[in-house]
Structures are given as structure tokens and as C-alpha cells.
Amino acid sequence: MRTEIDELRALIRHHERKYYVDNGPEISDADFDALMKQLEALEAASEAPIPPDSPTQRVGGGAVLGTRLQHRNPMLSLNNSYDEKELREFTERVQRLLEDAPVEYVTELKIDGLGVSLTYENGIFTQGLTRGDGEYGEDVTDNLRTIRSLPLRLVDTETVVPPVLEVRGEVFLPKDCLNEINVQREAEGEPPFANPRNAAAGSLRLLDASITASRPLDIFAYTLNYAEGFESATHTESLENMKRWGLKCNSHTRPHKSIEDVQKYYEYWLEKRHELPYETDGIVVKVNQFSQQRELGATSKYPRWAIAYKFNAQQAITTVEKIEVQVGRTGALTPVAILKPVILAGATITNATLHNEQEIQTKDIRIGDRIVLERAGDVIPKIVEVLTAERTGDEVVFDFPDRCPVCGKPVQRTETEVAVRCVNVACVAQLKRRIAHYASRNALQIEGLGPATIDQLVDRELVRDVADLYALEVEPLSKLERMGVPSARNLVHQIEQSKTAPAEKLLFGLGIFHVGETVAELLIEHFSSLDALSRATLEEIESVDGIGPQIAESVVNFFSQNQLLLDRLREAGLQCFTVVAESTRMEVSAATDSFFTGKTFVVTGSLEGMTRSEASKEIKTRGGKVTSSVTGKTDYLIAGEGAGSKYVKAEELGIPILTEAEFFAKL
């Protein structure tokens, strides 16, 4: 028997839905408030406990945050495309994998907010998680409850709500309120949110749910991720069901039979998106049939059945505030433009590399200049143009230093290369960078050995080269600033662990001039162990496919000059000196012809979907060749995030550059 109180709750839920989900209120705000007051009074007078899905229960006490919980299945990200060509490559790949079966696509707006997962049990909202790292998310249930368009209880319709349901969607702040919050934050001396996603995340992760409640967060559900005992044939059908159950889905979803229609949808929203009350950063193109989605599957990062097609407002104008010079591990002096912070492609950009002295001169970049910053795909931002017309005359030409900014020793300029170098082997800037490189993820992967720790280790002369790391002990380490015994123990453990790293990681980690990851792999693949490589002659090294004379010379020089360091590493117990590297040996199938067969590739920057070495293996198994430097012989450069000098070189030589998405499509 439904009591008066139940009836009232149902009535309020109905009006909440009309107002917040359907945008079509049936009663005035005052009448709605009166109903809420009435319910509060009845609940206060009643002995019965208040159920968590009562409309009065949106704001509880403080929020419980910080619990990390595993997602039912990973919350993947979306691969990006930026133009019609990339979109076509996506659809061609889909067609190929589906052996040219007819495919229907659905397009949606890509809402710029924060991805979340919502679980309903028996129709009641029981758990909400952020996307987190995709595998584990943060429990934000209490704060999600404050979102008025998120139903605390689903409505049973002719399609009965499954007993367990998990939907995924995007939480966002409407544009006008985002602006309002930023104005307020600036007035209070707090930095404005850099982008809509940060604003949504910041609001959702507040410890005080009542503040979250004061931020008019909203949500669109975009995926029915799990529905116990319930099947839909298509994505559009599942969206229809979600709407029937009372979930808020975006209304601009459209099915398309052809890619031309998808392109039209994109162009329409490219122009009209400014009229929307929320931020969108592109559209999402999805294969509609679930059976086809399953057939296509996913990589570890992205589904193969969907792609984001981004609106590329990837340019921004800002000012060069100063130019700093950084010293790299090989002593190269790299000028960096420190910029007035500006939002570009969803991230706040505060600096841009100027690569070298020549680049500053060719582009005539001066301190105080207004410049155009561009970010293409996932590549690091670069200065594409100086707005010389905006010069006031106060701009200052940058004098490239003649001395190392860290050790003060004179720098060296040579005819053969553009880089200006500090050639002082004892320069602490170089040593710090060498240690950081040694400890980095793609080298020996010593977690916990960050720049702040390295600074102290070098400054206190606890470490003079990488072999010294293996003599570090917990006691003295724990005395470092921001360290303590547990972190010191962990660091010692991590250093110990690094002793089992494979030879190619150590070879890369040693930071030998011209020996990047690919070269290190090629060398170990050929020589099998570091010992064998260290005994190899110049000619033997040069004979390895993909290794040129410059690299060979650099390797031979390194081994002849660093025998002591290598002996100390061996004595410290690094296993890879003697262990034959099996893992790097691989079969090259000369089998079928592919796009890659017979072509030469260079992989640079970091890829999101795989490591560089995995990418190299994929290329090699398809009959392609991977080399380390961009030359006239390179057929393609594959550029991931953070691509730098190789990207510039490829552009100069007119070598085609593949983005990660394009590369995946070719695979």
C-alpha cells in the first residue's frame, strides 16, 4: 500500500524529471518548493526511516571521498581524429574489420566534462564513480546525488528496469555557471578552472556535498554499460530505454548511413556549438549495432567502434613573458618560451620549446612578443607565428648565453649541429638530467626518484653517477626533505628492482648520445647482451640494419670511456650484463604485403595506445623497418604526444607524418 508520503515522493520525482531532465516543467518553482516543504514536514513527523532515494536526500552530510573502486569493466577513452581524412581512415578500418558488412553510425556531441559511472540496483542509485585511471575510479556517490537531473530512483515503464544497471555519462557545468564560478574564483584570489572538465571534476570532488549542491552540475548519460538480463540490439535503442527509465540523454544524437552525413553533422555543430548551453569539444562517432561493436572490440585504451572527431580550435594567442635556457642530459642548451598561461585544446599552456638558437632567430621571437600558439593533434604546442604588427617597440631580442646557465662554463658551438652545448662533463644540470633519464619510465623505471629527490642527491653529493644509486641506504635517504622512512624504503626497493631490467632498458637508460629506445632495441636484438655489445667493433655495430656510422661511433666511444661505470653497475648486481635478451628476439613475418612492407618508419613522442617498442614490433612484423633518426630515407614519421625535433625535421624534409590515430588505422 502506497502511503501519502510515498505518493508525495513519487509526485516530486515526476516534477524533478520534468524540470531537470525533460526541460519542460509542469508546475511553478514556488509550487515545487511547497511540495518539498510538505515532504520534509511529513518525514520529520514520521517514525519510519527516510529512504536514500527520497527527493529530500540529495544533500546528506559531508561527502565520502577517496575510496578507489574497481570498475566493472575498464572505462576506456576515445581515440581522436581531427579532420575528414582521419574520420575516413576510422570508417575504412571499421569496414575492413567488418569485412564490408553494412554499418550504421550514430553521432553524438562530445560533452566536455568528467566521465562517470552510475550504478542502479533495483532501480535505486547506489554508486557513482569517476573514471579515474579507467580501471579504478573514485567513489563520488554522495556528490553525484546532488545533481538534480540524476534520478535517485529510476522509473519502471513498459521496459522494466533491470535489477542491476550501470550507465556511463558525462558530468558537466553549464557554460554560464562556469563563467560565473571563474569570475568568483578570481575575485577570491583563486585560479580560475583551466577548462570545463577541471571545473566539473573540482566540483564533484568537493568534500562538502552542500557546496557541490550549490554548483548546478548536470549530467548526460551516453552508454548503457551493463543491464542485467536485458538486451538491446543497438546503441540508439539503449539510449531510448535509458530515457524511458528517467535518465537524461543528450537529444542531439543522430543515426547516419553514410560518412558524408557524419561530416555534415560535424560541420553543423562546428558552427552551432557556441549556441549550446554547455561546452562540447567535438562529436563522437559510434558504430550503432552492438553485435558489430563486439566484433570490433577494443585496444587497451580505446574501443575500435568509436572515435572522437574534435573541433580543432587548436590555436591560441598569448605573450612571451621570458625565455629560459634549460640544460639537457647531453649538455644541449634548449631555449624555452615562458608564456602568459593560455588554454589551448583543453589544457593550460605555460611554455613552449623553442628548440634551439636558430629557431629563435628564424622566427624572430622576442621577449614581449604576441604569438600564435598551435597544437596539432597530440603533438606539443609550438609557436607558429609572431604577430609583428602588434609590436610596441618594447620587445627585447634574446641574447643566447655564451655560458652554461647552470655551471657557468663556456658553451660550445659547432658547424655541424644547431645545438649549443655545455661540454663540461661535471655540469650538475647534465648529471641531474642523466639520472632522471636513467630512472624514467621507458628506461630503468625507478619510481619515487623524481626531480626533487635527484636535486638533493646530487647537491648533497650522495650521487655522482648512476652507479651510486645502488649504494644508497634507507637511513641517509630518509633524512632528505619530503622523504621519511617509508618513502626511503620504497625508493631503495625500487632501485633494487631495477637490477632486473632487460638489457635494452639499461642501454637506453645510460643516455648514450644518439641511442634512443629504438636503437637500443636494435642493438640488443643483434648482440643479445650488453657485454657482447661492449666488445663489438665500430664495423660490427655499423653493420646492424638501421644503425648509421654516427650512432656506431657514439656507442664505441661511450663503451671505451665508461668502462669503470659499467663495471660498477655490473658489481652492483645488474643482471642484464650477462643474461641473453630473449624477449627482444622476434620473428619477422615476410608473409603478407601490407602498407608497412618495405617502408622505413621513425616513431617519436609517446603514444597513448602502446609503447614505442610495441609500435616498432607491430611495424616490423608487417615487414616495415624502424630506424631512429629522420633522414631522406624515412618514408613516414609516426608522431605521438611530445614529439619534438624529429617532428620538426620531418616537416622540413617533407616526410609524411602519421598521427597515432592514423598509425592505428594503418595497422
Cα–Cα distance measured from residue 263 to residue 276, given in angstroms and rounded to the nearest whole number = 19
170 touches ligand IVH by CB under 6 A: yes
Nearest distance, CB of residue 203 and ligand IVH, angstroms: 16
Stretch that binds ligand IVH, among 179-187, 301-309, 417-425, 474-482 (CB under 6 A): 301-309
Stretch that binds ligand IVH, among 75-83, 118-126, 443-451, 657-665 (CB under 6 A): 75-83
Q: For residues 246-283, b (16+ Cβ closer than 10 Å) or e, as one string?
A: bbbbbebbeebeebeebbebbeebbeebeeeebbbbbb
Q: Is residue 98 within 8 Å of residue 265, measured between CB atoms?
A: no
Q: Identify which of residues 131 and 382 has a Cβ nearer to ligand IVH in the complex.
A: 131
How are beta strands 80-81 and 254-256 bridged, if at all?
A: unpaired
Nearest distance, CB of residue 250 and ligand IVH, angstroms: 7
How are beta strands 114-121 and 124-130 bridged, if at all?
A: antiparallel
Q: Identify which of residues 457 and 661 has a Cβ nearer to ligand IVH in the complex.
A: 661
Q: Identify which of residues 285 and 422 has a Cβ nearer to ligand IVH in the complex.
A: 285
Q: Identify which of residues 241 and 453 has a Cβ nearer to ligand IVH in the complex.
A: 241
Q: Identify which of residues 87 and 371 has a Cβ nearer to ligand IVH in the complex.
A: 87
List 120, 222, 266, 577, residue binding ligand IVH (CB under 6 A): 222
76 touches ligand IVH by CB under 6 A: yes
Residues carrying an active site annotation: 110
List 13, 71, 110, 620, residue binding ligand IVH (CB under 6 A): 110
DSSP three-state, residue 389: helix
3-state secondary structure 316-369: EEEEEEEEEEEECCCCEEEEEEEEEEEEECCEEEEEEECCCHHHHHHHCCEECC
Nearest distance, CB of residue 283 and ligand IVH, angstroms: 8
Q: Identify which of residues 222 and 527 has a Cβ nearer to ligand IVH in the complex.
A: 222
Stretch that binds ligand IVH, among 104-112, 188-196, 352-360, 609-617 (CB under 6 A): 104-112
Residues contacting ligand IVH: total by CB under 6 A: 15
- How many CB atoms are located within 10 Å of the residue 70 CB? 11
Instruction: Please give the C-alpha separations between residue 231 and each of 108, 226, 235, 238, 241, in angstroms, as whole numbers.
Output: 22, 9, 11, 8, 11
Cell matching residue 285: 562517432
Cβ neighbours for 423, distance < 8 A, ≥ 6 positions apart: 331, 409, 411, 412
284 touches ligand IVH by CB under 6 A: yes
Q: With the CA atoms of 406, 408, 414 and 416 taken in that order, what torsion angle do they form, in degrees rounded to the nearest 10?
A: -10
111 touches ligand IVH by CB under 6 A: yes
Tell me the β-bridge partners of 352: 337
78 touches ligand IVH by CB under 6 A: yes
Question: Which residue's Cβ lies closest to ligand IVH?
Answer: 115
Check residue 299 and report its DSSP letter. Answer: -
Q: Which residues inside 442-481 make contact with ligand IVH, applying CB under 6 A? A: none
Q: Which residues inside 124-143 make contact with ligand IVH, applying CB under 6 A? A: 131
Q: Which residues bind ligand IVH (CB under 6 A)?
A: 76-78, 108, 110-111, 115, 131, 170, 222-223, 284, 303, 306, 308
